Amino acid sequence: MASVSYHISSLLEKMTSTDKDFRFMATNDLMMELQKDSIKLDEDSEKKVVKMLLKLLEDKNGEVQNLAVKCLGPLVGKVKEYQVETIVDTLCTNMLSDKEQLRDISSIGLKTVISELPPASTGSTMTANVCKKITAQLTGAIGKQEDVSVQLEALDILSDMLSRLGGTLYSFHSSILNCLLPQLTSPRLAVRKRAIIALGHLVLTCSGNIFSELTEHLLAELKRNESTSTTRTYIQCVAGISRQAGHRIGEHLEKIIPLIVQYCNVEDDELREYCFQAFESFVRRCPKEIDPHIPNVMGLCLKYITFDPNYNYDNEEEEEEEEMMETENGEDEEQESDDEYSDDDDISWKVRRSAAKCLEAIVSSRHDLLQDFYKTLSPVLISRFKEREENVKADIFSAYISLLKQTLPIQSWLHASDASGKDDVPLTMLQNQVPKIVKALHKQLKEKSIKSRQGCFSLLTELANVLPGCLADHIPALVPGIVFSLADKSSSSNMRIDTLSFLHVLLCNHQPEVFHPHIKSLLPPVVTCIGDPFYKITSEALLVTQQLVKVIRPLDKSCTFDAKPYVKDLFPGTLKRLKAADIDQEVKERAISCMGQIIYHLGDHLSTDLQPTLKIFLERLKNEITRLTTVKALTLIASSPLKIDLRPILGEGFPILASFLRKNQRALKLSTLTALDILVKNYSDSLKPAMIESVLTELPALITENDMHVSQVAIMFLTTLAKVYPSCISKISGSVLAEIFQLVHSPLLQGGALNAIIDFFQALVLTKTATMGYSELMKQLTAPIYSSGSGGASVTLHKQAYYSVAKCVAALSSACPKEAPAIVNQFIQDVKNPKSSSAVKVLAFLSLAEMGRTTNLSAQRELKTVILEAFTSPSEEVKSAASYALGNISVGNLKEYLPFMLKEIGSQPKRQYLLLHSLKEVISSSPADGLKPYVEDIWALLFKHCECTEEGTRNVVAECLGKLTLVNPSELLPRLKKQLSSGSPHARSTVVTAIKFTIADQPQPIDALLKGCIGDFLKTLQDPDLNVRRVALAMFNSAAHNKPSLIRDLLNAVLPSLYNETKVRRELIREKWGHSSTQWMMALT
Phi-psi label, residue 1074: left if phi above 0, alpha if psi -120 to 50, beta otherwise: left
- Rg of the chain (C-alpha set): 40
The identity of residue 883, as a single letter, is: S
For residues 622-650, b (16+ Cβ closer than 10 Å) or e, as one string?
eeeebbbbbbbbbbbbbbbeeebebeebb
- Higher-pLDDT residue of 853 and 576 is 576
Q: Report the percent of the chain where pLDDT is more than 90.
A: 18
Do 1078 and 1068 contact (CB within 8 A), yes or no?
yes
Question: Do residues 894 and 937 make contact, with C-beta atoms less than 8 angstroms apart?
Answer: no
Give the H or E element holding residue 1071: strand 1069-1072
Q: In the chain, what is the greatest distance between 2 CA atoms, to the nearest angstrom?
A: 114
Cβ within 8 Å of residue 134, ≥6 positions away:
88, 92, 110, 114, 157, 161
Q: What mean pLDDT comes out for the span 358-366?
A: 93
Residue 54's pLDDT band (cuts 50, 70, 90): confident
Residue 945 has pLDDT above 90, yes or no: no
Cα–Cα distance for residue pair 668/672, rounded to 1 Å: 6
**In terms of Cα–Cα distance, which of 272, 279, 294 is closest to 242?**
279
276 pLDDT band, cuts 50/70/90, is very high
The amino acid occupying position 710 is: V
Q: What is the pLDDT of residue 788?
A: 62
Using CA atoms of 273, 278, 283, 285 in order, give the dihedral in degrees to the nearest 10. Answer: 140
Task: Give the Cα separation of 202 and 245 in Å (integer).
Answer: 10
- Judged by DSSP in three states, 588 sits in helix
Q: Are 281 and 246 in contact (CB under 8 A)?
A: yes
Question: Would you say 1029 and 1023 are in contact if contact means Cβ atoms under 8 Å apart?
Answer: yes
Q: What is the mean pLDDT of residues 1067-1079?
A: 54
Q: What's the start-to-end Cα distance of the chain, in Å?
A: 58
The most confident of 129-143, 168-182, 727-741, by mean pLDDT: 168-182
Per-residue pLDDT band for 1078 (boundaries 50, 70, 90) equals: very low
The residues, any chain, with a CB within 8 Å of residue 956's CB and separated by 6 or more, are 913, 916, 917, 920
Supply the pLDDT for residue 789: 52
The pLDDT of residue 736 is 80
Q: CB pairs under 8 A, 24+ apart, for 1006-1010?
A: 1006/965, 1006/966, 1006/969, 1006/973, 1007/416, 1007/417, 1007/418, 1007/1043, 1007/1045, 1007/1046, 1008/418, 1009/969, 1009/970, 1009/973, 1010/969, 1010/973, 1010/1046
pLDDT digits (tens, 9 = 90+) for 875-929: 888 888 888 888 888 888 778 777 888 888 777 777 778 888 888 888 888 887 7
How many residues are present in the chain?
Answer: 1085
Residue 436, pLDDT score = 92
More confident residue, 901 or 1075: 901
Give whole-number Cα distances, 451 to 311, 364, 458, 481, 494, in Å.
Answer: 21, 23, 11, 14, 10
- Provide the sign of the torsion angle of the four alpha carbons 545, 549, 552, 554, taken in this order: negative
Task: Write the pLDDT tens digit of every residue in 854-880.
Answer: 877 766 777 777 888 888 888 888 888
pLDDT band, residue 314 (cuts 50/70/90) = low
Under 8 Å between Cβ of 87 and 133: no
**Residues 714, 702 contacting (CB under 8 angstroms):** yes
Q: Read out DSSP for 887-941?
A: HHHHHHTHHHHHHHHHHHHHH-GGGHHHHHHHHHHHHHHS-HHHHGGGHHHHHHH
Reported confidence tier of residue 1033, pLDDT bands at 50, 70, 90: confident
Is the model's pLDDT at 1025 over the cut of 90? Answer: no
In this predicted structure, what is the pLDDT of residue 343? 53
Reported as half-sphere exposure (CB side, CA atoms, 13 A), residue 571 has a value of 21
The CB-side HSE value for 319 (13 A sphere, CA atoms) comes to 10
For the residues 295-304, what does the mean pLDDT come to? 91
What does the pLDDT look like over 437-472, one tens digit per residue? 999 888 888 888 888 999 999 999 999 999 898 999
- Cα–Cα distance list, 680 to 136, 561, 655 (Å): 84, 33, 13
Query: What is the C-alpha separation between 710 and 671, in angstroms, rounded?
Result: 10
Instruction: Provide φ and ψ at 1069, rounded to 5°.
Output: -90, 130
Question: Rounded to whole angstroms, how far apart are CA atoms 270 and 31?
Answer: 48
**pLDDT computed for residue 344 by the predictor:** 57
CA dist 981 and 671 (Å) reads: 59
| Alpha carbon distance 218, 303 (integer Å) | 27
Least reliable range by pLDDT among 197-206, 708-717, 820-829, 1058-1067: 1058-1067
DSSP string covering 218-281, please? HHHHHHH---HHHHHHHHHHHHHHHHHHHHHHGGGHHHHHHHHHHHHTSS-HHHHHHHHHHHHH
Q: Please say if the pLDDT value at position 395 is more than 90.
A: yes
Check: CB of residue 173 under 8 Å from CB of residue 158.
no
Mean pLDDT, rounded, of the chain = 82
Comparing CA positions, the residue from 567, 599, 576, 580 lying closest to residue 529 is 576
Torsional class of 1073: left (φ above 0), alpha (ψ -120 to 50), beta (otherwise): left
pTM across the whole model = 0.78
Max mean pLDDT range (107-116, 159-168, 276-285): 276-285
Give residue-wise pLDDT tens across range 762-805: 888 877 765 677 777 788 778 787 776 544 444 467 888 888 88
3 state SS of 1070: strand
Task: Supply angle C-alpha 614, 620, 621, rounded to 5.
Answer: 90
C-alpha angle 347-352-353 in degrees, rounded to nearest 5: 95
CB atoms within 10 A of CB 13: 12
CA angle 1015, 1018, 1020 (to 5 degrees): 130
**pLDDT computed for residue 123 by the predictor:** 57
User: What integer is the mean pLDDT of 601-605?
Assistant: 87
Q: What is the pLDDT of residues 402-432, one digit of tens each?
A: 999 998 876 543 444 444 445 568 888 899 9
Residue predicted with more confidence, 795 or 668: 668
What are residue 1076's DSSP bridge partners? 1071
Helix pair angle (348-365, 294-304), 10° resolution: 140
Instruction: Kindly tell me the number of DSSP H helices and DSSP E strands found in the chain.
Output: 55, 2
Give 898's Cβ-side CA count (13 Å radius): 21
Least confident of 315-324, 719-728, 784-793, 983-992: 315-324
Q: Which amino acid is at 488?
A: D
Please check the confidence at residue 647 and state whether its pLDDT lies above 70. Answer: yes
Residue 86 has pLDDT above 90, yes or no: no
The answer to whether 253 touches 238, Cβ cutoff 8 Å, is no
CA–centroid distance for 82 within its chain? 52
pLDDT at residue 739 above 90? no
Other Cβ atoms less than 10 A from the Cβ of 29: the count is 16
Q: Kindly report, residue by residue over 500-518, the tens digit of the pLDDT.
A: 999 999 999 999 999 999 9
Residue 1069 pairs with which residues in a beta bridge? Answer: 1078
Per-residue pLDDT, 980: 76
**Statement: residue 320 has pLDDT above 60:** no
3-state SS, 825-850, equals HHHHHHHHCCCCCHHHHHHHHHHHHH
For residues 1058 and 591, give the distance between their C-alpha atoms in angstroms, rounded to a whole number: 58
Most confident of 50-54, 622-626, 849-853: 622-626
The pLDDT score that the predictor gives to residue 329 is 44
User: What is the arithmetic mean of pLDDT over 351-358?
Assistant: 93
| Residues 742, 801: Cα–Cα separation, whole Å | 10
pLDDT for 549 beyond 60: yes
Highest-confidence segment of 244-248, 618-622, 749-753, 909-913:
618-622
DSSP helix/strand/coil, 425: helix
Provide the pLDDT confidence category of residue 315 given band limits of 50, 70 and 90.
low
Q: Residue 746's pLDDT band (boundaries 50, 70, 90)?
A: confident
Specify whether the CB–CB gap between 675 and 657 falls below 8 A. yes
CA dihedral defined by 236, 238, 239, 240, rounded to 10 degrees? 80
Strand partners, 1078: 1069
pLDDT for the residue numbered 124? 64
Residue 342: strand, helix, or coil: coil
